[in-house]
């Protein structure tokens, strides 16, 4: 082909694509600083994993003092990167930054980053209760190593517990980037705003959805495909959806089997068991056992063409 035509096509479309439409501009923060970097957020999560599971995701190191060197280096990198990404993320919070200079934004970001650093020991403690729960619940788990190395639920919970802390610290955008990275890897979609107690277990996990305002107690277990969702949306007088509590509350020691959907701001009482493949939209009292009325409602036929 005539090289001239290729070059013309390139130049014409470069010109078109360099222009930002009204819509595109309207979607950007009013600031001019860089936006958060998905790659850097990924690195942040990797650093937290190294800090919390050094023997598994880095190199086994039995000596505490030597291990402290490594953890110290990761912690320093973490603090630097996190401060910067929080500062970039704060552009999406129009209120809080309204009259802020760049230095003020960094000051706020630094405080949030340090608060996160101070929360790491508790995040670590919680994650080790999750390991225990997942190991205890699964007859196919032959050892803790398999849980820590392989279980998509452990990967997801690590992302979620990091993201939830940042959400509590009112960091915009970053928490969701973090949970969506886990969603992408595991098919488990937990909103960073959800509240989840200790000893939490998910088995298999693909298709699990836990909404923004869900509240989950301790010792709760979910199986694949479980949705803790909203039943319907409320609107204000202008027709805008309202972001209010709309997802279920699961009290302690609840188990929900695969593909069950629990919808709306209802409460599943403690020590209840929800059977697979069902659709629950009303609260149930403690110690309930709920399942499909006819578990196998099938017709035997012969003949092709289903």
Subset of residues 84 to 143 that bind its own copies, contact rule: CB under 8 A: 92, 107, 110-111, 114, 117-118, 120-121, 124-125, 128, 131-132, 137-140, 142-143
Residues numbered 206-225 forming contacts with its own copies, rule: CB under 8 A: 206-207, 209, 211-212, 224-225
Give the residue with the Cβ less far from its own copies, 99 or 305.
Answer: 305
- If binding is defined by CB under 8 A, does position 38 make contact with its own copies? yes
Distances (CA, A) of 235 to 150, 231, 238, 241: 42, 14, 8, 4
- Which CB, 52 or 220, lies closer to its own copies? 52
Of 42, 96, 145, 170, the one binding its own copies (CB under 8 A) is: 145
Q: Name the token pair of 142.
A: 């032959």
Out of 42, 96, 104, 277, name the contact with its own copies by CB under 8 A.
Answer: 277
> Is residue 42 close enough to count as binding its own copies by CB under 8 A?
no
Binding flag, residue 269, its own copies (CB under 8 A): no
Distance CA 228, CA 226 (A): 7
CB atoms within 10 A of CB 278: 16
Q: Position of tokens 């001239």?
A: 4
Cα–Cα distance for residue pair 146/140, rounded to 1 Å: 10
Q: Which of 44, 133, 173, 250 binds its own copies (CB under 8 A)?
A: 173
Cβ of 302: how many Cβ atoms within 10 Å? 4
- Whole-angstrom Cα distance, residue 248 to residue 229? 7
Task: Name the minimum Å distance from CB 251 to its own copies.
Answer: 16
What are the backbone angles phi and psi of residue 206, rounded to the nearest 5°? Answer: -50, 130
Residues 229-258 that bind its own copies (CB under 8 A): 229, 232-233, 241-243, 246, 257-258
Burial class (CB in 10 A: 0-12, 13-18, 19+), 124: middle
Q: What's the closest the beta carbon of residue 7 comes to its own copies, in angstroms?
A: 5
With respect to its own copies, which residue has the nearer C-beta, 31 or 252? 31
Size of the site for its own copies (CB under 8 A): 141
Tell the smallest beta-carbon distance from residue 217 to its own copies (Å). 20
Are 229 and 194 in contact, with CB atoms under 8 Å apart? no
d(CA 15, CA 165): 43
Closer residue to its own copies in complex, CB, 237/297? 297
Tell which positions 152-171 bind its own copies, by CB under 8 A.
152
Shortest CB 16 distance to its own copies, Å: 5
Question: What is the spatial order of strands in the sheet that 273-274 belongs to?
Answer: 201-202, 221-222, 255-256, 273-274
């Amino acid at each position: 082909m005539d090289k001239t035509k290729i070059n013309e096509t390139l130049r014409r479309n470069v010109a078109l694509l360099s222009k930002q439409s009204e819509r595109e501009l309207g979607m950007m923060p009013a600031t001019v600083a860089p936006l958060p970097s998905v790659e850097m957020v990924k690195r942040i999560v990797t650093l937290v994993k190294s800090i919390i599971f050094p023997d598994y995701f880095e190199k086994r190191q039995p000596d505490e003092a030597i291990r402290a060197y490594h953890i110290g280096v990761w912690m320093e990198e973490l603090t630097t990167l996190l401060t910067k990404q929080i500062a970039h993320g704060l552009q999406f919070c129009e209120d809080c930054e309204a009259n802020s200079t760049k230095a003020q934004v960094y000051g706020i970001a630094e405080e949030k980053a340090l608060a996160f650093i101070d929360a790491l020991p508790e995040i670590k403690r919680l994650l080790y209760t999750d390991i225990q729960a997942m190991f205890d619940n699964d007859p196919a788990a032959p050892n803790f190593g398999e849980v820590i190395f392989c279980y998509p639920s452990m990967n997801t919970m690590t992302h979620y517990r990091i993201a939830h802390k940042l959400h509590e610290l009112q960091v915009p955008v970053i928490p969701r980037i973090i949970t969506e990275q886990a969603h992408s890897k595991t098919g488990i979609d937990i909103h960073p705003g959800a509240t989840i107690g200790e000893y939490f277990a998910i088995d298999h996990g693909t298709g699990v959805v836990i909404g923004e305002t869900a509240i989950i107690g301790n010792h709760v277990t979910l199986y694949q495909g479980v949705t803790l969702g909203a039943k319907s949306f409320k609107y204000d007088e202008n027709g805008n959806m309202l972001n209010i509590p709309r997802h279920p509350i699961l009290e302690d020691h609840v188990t929900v089997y695969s593909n069950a959907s629990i919808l709306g701001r209802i409460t599943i009482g403690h020590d209840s068991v929800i059977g697979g493949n069902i659709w629950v939209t009303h609260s149930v009292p403690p110690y309930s056992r709920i399942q499909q009325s006819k578990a196998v409602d099938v017709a035997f036929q012969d003949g092709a063409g289903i």
